[in-house]
Amino acid sequence: MSRHETSPTTVQPAGNHRPNACCFCWCCCCSCSWNEDRERAWRASRETKLETIPNCEACTKPTPEEVRGWAQSFDKLMKSPAGRNVFREFLRTEYSEENMLFWLACEELKNECNKHTIDEKARMIYEDYISILSPKEVSLDSRVREVINRKMQEPSSHTFDDAQLQIYTLMHRDSYPRFLNSAIYKSLLQSVSRSSSES
C-alpha cells in the first residue's frame, strides 16, 4: 500500500484533510512522524560514510513557475536545489536514491581544492558508490569502471566525471519521465499553484 492511500478500515470524512499532509511537502524535510520513522529505517539500512551530504539541501520554497519549469527540462530540475530535493524524494520511493547521492558527492568533490581532502573524498565515494561490495553501488558500465580504477591511483576532483555523466543520463532517461507522472510531482504542482492563487 502506498503511503498516500488510507487503509480499508479507515474512513475519512469528505473534505477532511489529513493532519500530516506535510508528507507531500515540496521538500523532504518535514517532521511528521511518518517521515521520521521512514528516515530512521532508511539511515539504519543504508549507512553512508559521506556524512557531509545533508539529508536535504537548504533551499527556498519553489515558485509555481519554477516547479512547472522542472517539467520542461531535466537540466532545470537538477539546477534547482528544491528540484533536486523533490526528485531525490521520488528516487527514494524507487530505491534508487544512491544515484542522486553519488551525483551530489561528485559535485562536492569538483569544488574541492585541497589535495588531501580530494584523496579522502574520492576514496569515500569509491567505497560508497563504485565498489561492488557496497549496498549503494551505482550502475556503471565496465569501461567507466576501468577508467575510475585507473584514476583512483592518483585521484583528482574530476576522477568520477565519466561516471557522474553516466548516472545523470540514467536518471534523465529512466527516472525523470516517471517522476513527472508521479503523485509527488503532481501534488507539489497543485499545492504551489493553489497557494499562489490564494495569495
pLDDT tens for residues 59-108?
678 999 999 999 999 999 999 999 999 999 999 999 999 999 999 999 99
Total domains, the chain: 1
Confidence (pTM) = 0.71
Tell me, yes or no, whether 181 lies in a domain: yes
Query: In this predicted structure, what is the pLDDT of residue 180?
Result: 98
Q: What is the mean pLDDT of residues 10-22?
A: 42
Q: Is 20 helix (H, G, I), strand (E, B) or coil?
A: coil
User: Mean of the per-residue pLDDT values for the chain?
Assistant: 80
Residue type, 179: F
Three cell numbers at 177?
A: 519521465
Contact 147, 164 (CB under 8 A): no
Measured between its terminal Cα atoms, the distance across the chain in Å is: 35
Tell me, yes or no, whether 18 lies in a domain: no
Query: In this predicted structure, what is the pLDDT of residue 49?
Result: 43
CATH number, residue 156: 1.10.167.10
Tell me, yes or no, whether 95 lies in a domain: yes
CA distances from 155 to 103, 179, 198 (A): 17, 34, 52
Tell me, yes or no, whether 23 lies in a domain: no
| Higher-scoring residue by pLDDT: 176, 40 | 176
Residue type, 64: P
Range of the domain at 117: 64-196
Q: Kindly calculate the radius of gyration of the chain based on its CA atoms and give it in whole angstroms.
A: 19
User: Cα–Cα distance between 52 and 35 in angstroms, integer?
Assistant: 21
User: Cα–Cα distance between 70 and 78 in angstroms, integer?
Assistant: 8
